[in-house]
């Protein structure tokens, strides 16, 4: 489907669009007169920011998986659970659906998110493919789903606030809760830094080449 | 939406008649859509504008109600736990204060921010921006920055994620102890619902258009009566 073919972009029209208020202005405008945000037709330098946040997030993701997420003490015995360990414990107790939610939110989504952001950032750096629509959907999905990874951090917060029953049971947060929260925050910033307009530029550039004799 | 191909018309109509897709940079002439309809980008399918009838007044009421719920949520017990004769009831404030052991202080701030401070700030900012507009007063000073901040905070407002977290936490401790919902849990559920309703009614392009009304030109167009 030749989606972008009949679409004129703000850049083609010699204009620059504001991503906050959807107004357009002459290309030389640097600050949006309507909402005051900085205007930039394409933010190529943003790719560096994407990679920087991506890398920091990846670094945080390592201790998030190694160190315990929570420390449970019940009647004298203390058990420490990492993210994956906690999900396994849940599954052993028969709560398969909750174990699945935790695995999905804390392992599958972050991992796929790392891969998706890297794929998008690499694919706009090497313009060739004509998969804009799918790439854009991937980007929107990453932006939408990423924040739900925070669920495990909140579960730790709730449990450690709630379960203070002296010697019978008490739960404390482990260091991984912090690094995992940071992982989610950094991947969110990384995805937000990405300029999704770059995805669509590939097609236009290719078409320009194709049209040229 | 009809793609805007005739650039020569641009100058005559003025740039404010155009709209750009923030996701893919496609340029359109602002279509005539009536309240309840959505303007969707032709190629990336992003919703660019979605005006709703009486949206301004609805958002104000919803935001004000959500602030009431938010304050109430803070102080009432959220979850109650009991095991072997021992009881503990915890409020949202307790959840926030749980991370008091030094190295996890950052996580305290983050949790508090995502579930309380940011939703409260967003609703407050929306009230600040929309109340004057709906009652036909000139926008307050800084209303534009306030609205921009409110829009940018949207992904960081995580009340609904926290609500799902509660459900997971309940199941996690069900072997350990008996857990019950407190009154604040239901208020929090109400808060999540109200915040999502605000989201559904809020069309940022309509608000920007209303904020952009130049008093000198005196074009009457309150938020809910936005024609484009």
Return the CATH number at A52.
1.20.140
B99–A contact, CB cutoff 8 A: yes
Using a CB-CB cut-off of 8 Å, the residues of chain B touching A158 are 79, 95, 165-166, 169
Out of B18, B42, B111, name the one closest to residue A24 (CB). B18
Q: Do B169 and A155 touch (CB under 8 A)?
A: yes
Q: Which two tokens stand for residue A126?
A: 């090497």
Confirm if B44 and A136 have CB atoms less than 8 A apart: yes
Do residue A156 and residue A123 come from a single domain?
yes
Q: For the segment B126-139, what is each residue's pLDDT rounded down to a tens digit?
A: 999 888 888 888 88
Helical (H) or strand (E) element with B86: strand B86-91
Per-residue confidence band for A204, with pLDDT thresholds at 50, 70 and 90: low
Based on the structure, what is the number of domains in chain A?
A: 2
Do residue A10 and residue A115 come from a single domain?
no
Mutation target vs B (from A7, A29, A37, A205; most B CBs, 10 A cutoff): A7
Using a CB-CB cut-off of 8 Å, the residues of chain B touching A178 are 103-104, 106-107
Residues 6+ apart with CB under 8 A from A157: A173, A177, B95, B96, B98, B99, B107, B111, B165
Highest mean pLDDT among A196-200, B7-11, B105-109: A196-200
Do residue A11 and residue A56 come from a single domain?
no
Do residue A117 and residue A185 come from a single domain?
yes
Do residue A151 and residue A112 come from a single domain?
yes
Task: Name the β-bridge partners of A173.
Answer: A70
How far is the C-alpha of A88 from the C-alpha of A82, rounded, in Å?
10
Indicate whether B219 pLDDT > 60: no
More confident position, A205 or A108: A108
Helical (H) or strand (E) element with B131: helix B118-134
How far is the C-alpha of B44 from the C-alpha of B42, rounded, in Å?
6
More confident position, A125 or B2: A125
Q: What is the pLDDT of residue B76?
A: 84
How far is the C-alpha of A40 from the C-alpha of A47, rounded, in Å?
14
Indicate whether A23 pLDDT > 80: yes
Q: For the segment B144-183, what is each residue's pLDDT rounded down to a tens digit?
A: 889 989 988 988 988 889 888 888 888 877 777 788 888 8
DSSP string, B10-44: HHHH-GGGEEE-TTT-BEEEPP---TT--EE-TTT
Q: What is the pLDDT of residue B99?
A: 55
Task: Name the β-bridge partners of A70.
Answer: A81, A173
State the residue range of the domain holding A4: 1-41
Do residue A10 and residue A85 come from a single domain?
no
B16–A contact, CB cutoff 8 A: yes
Place of tokens 């003025």: B14
Do residue A122 and residue A106 come from a single domain?
yes
Place of tokens 């409020």: B91
Eight-class DSSP state of B138: P
Out of A41, A102, A168, name the one closest to residue B83 (CB). A168
Do residue A37 and residue A48 come from a single domain?
no
Do residue A4 and residue A99 come from a single domain?
no
Kindly give the residue spans of alpha helices, DSSP state H, lying in chain A. 46-66, 83-92, 96-103, 109-125, 132-145, 151-162, 175-193, 197-211
The alpha-carbon radius of gyration of chain B (Å, integer) is 22
How far is the C-alpha of A89 from the C-alpha of A70, rounded, in Å?
12
Do residue A121 and residue A25 come from a single domain?
no
Residue B84 gets the label, from left (phi > 0), alpha (psi -120 to 50) or beta, of: left
Out of A6, A18, A199, name the one closest to residue B3 (CB). A6
How far is the C-alpha of A57 from the C-alpha of A188, rounded, in Å?
9
More confident position, A202 or A131: A131
Confirm if A175 and A158 have CB atoms less than 8 A apart: no
How far is the C-alpha of A110 from the C-alpha of A126, rounded, in Å?
25
Eight-class DSSP state of B140: P
Q: Do B43 and A175 touch (CB under 8 A)?
A: no
B175–A contact, CB cutoff 8 A: yes
Task: Name the β-bridge partners of B83.
Answer: B86
Do residue A74 and residue A121 come from a single domain?
yes
Q: What percent of chain A has pLDDT over 70?
A: 88
Place of tokens 């789903």: A145
Identify which of A117, A112, A135 has the alpha carbon closest to the alpha carbon of residue A197. A135
B81–A contact, CB cutoff 8 A: yes
Using a CB-CB cut-off of 8 Å, the residues of chain A touching B43 are 3-4, 7, 132-133, 200
Do residue A75 and residue A131 come from a single domain?
yes
């Amino acid at each position: 489907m030749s989606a972008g073919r009949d679409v004129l972009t703000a850049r083609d029209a010699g204009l620059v669009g504001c991503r906050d208020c959807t107004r357009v202005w002459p290309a030389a405008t640097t600050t949006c007169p309507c909402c005051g945000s900085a205007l930039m037709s394409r933010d190529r330098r943003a790719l560096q920011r994407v990679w920087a946040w991506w890398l920091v997030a990846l670094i945080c993701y390592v201790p998030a998986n190694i160190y315990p997420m929570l420390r449970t003490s019940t009647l004298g015995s203390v058990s420490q659970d990492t993210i994956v360990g906690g999900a396994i414990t849940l599954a052993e107790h028969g709560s398969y659906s909750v174990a699945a939610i935790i695995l999905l939110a804390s392992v599958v989504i972050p991992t796929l998110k790392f891969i998706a952001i890297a794929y998008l950032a690499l694919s706009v750096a090497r313009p060739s493919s004509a998969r804009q629509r799918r790439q854009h959907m991937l980007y929107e999905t990453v932006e939408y789903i990423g924040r739900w990874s925070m669920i495990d951090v909140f579960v730790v917060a709730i449990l450690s606030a709630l379960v203070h029953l002296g010697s019978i049971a008490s739960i404390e947060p482990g260091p991984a809760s912090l690094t995992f929260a940071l992982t989610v925050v950094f991947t969110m910033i990384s995805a937000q830094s990405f300029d999704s307009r770059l995805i669509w530029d590939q097609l236009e550039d290719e078409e320009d080449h194709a049209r040229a004799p | 939406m009809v793609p805007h191909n005739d650039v020569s018309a641009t100058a005559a109509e003025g740039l404010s008649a155009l709209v750009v897709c923030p996701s893919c940079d496609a340029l359109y002439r602002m279509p005539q859509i009536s309240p309840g309809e959505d303007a969707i980008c032709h190629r990336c399918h992003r919703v660019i504008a979605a005006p709703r009838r009486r949206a301004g007044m609805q958002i104000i009421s919803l935001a004000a109600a959500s602030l009431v719920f938010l304050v109430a949520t803070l102080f009432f017990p959220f979850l109650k736990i009991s095991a072997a004769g021992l009881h503990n009831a915890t409020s949202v404030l307790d959840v926030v204060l749980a991370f008091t052991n030094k190295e996890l202080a950052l996580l305290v701030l983050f949790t508090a921010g995502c579930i309380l401070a940011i939703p409260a700030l967003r609703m407050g900012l929306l009230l600040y921006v929309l109340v004057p507009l709906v009652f036909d007063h000139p926008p307050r000073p800084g209303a534009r920055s306030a609205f921009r901040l409110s829009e940018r905070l949207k992904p960081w407002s995580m009340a609904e994620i926290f609500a799902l977290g509660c459900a997971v936490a309940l199941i996690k401790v069900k072997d350990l102890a008996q857990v019950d919902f407190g009154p604040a849990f239901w208020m929090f559920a109400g808060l999540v619902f109200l915040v999502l309703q605000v989201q559904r009614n809020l069309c940022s392009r309509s608000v920007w258009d209303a904020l952009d009304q130049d008093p000198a030109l005196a074009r009457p167009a309150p938020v809910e009566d936005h024609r484009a």
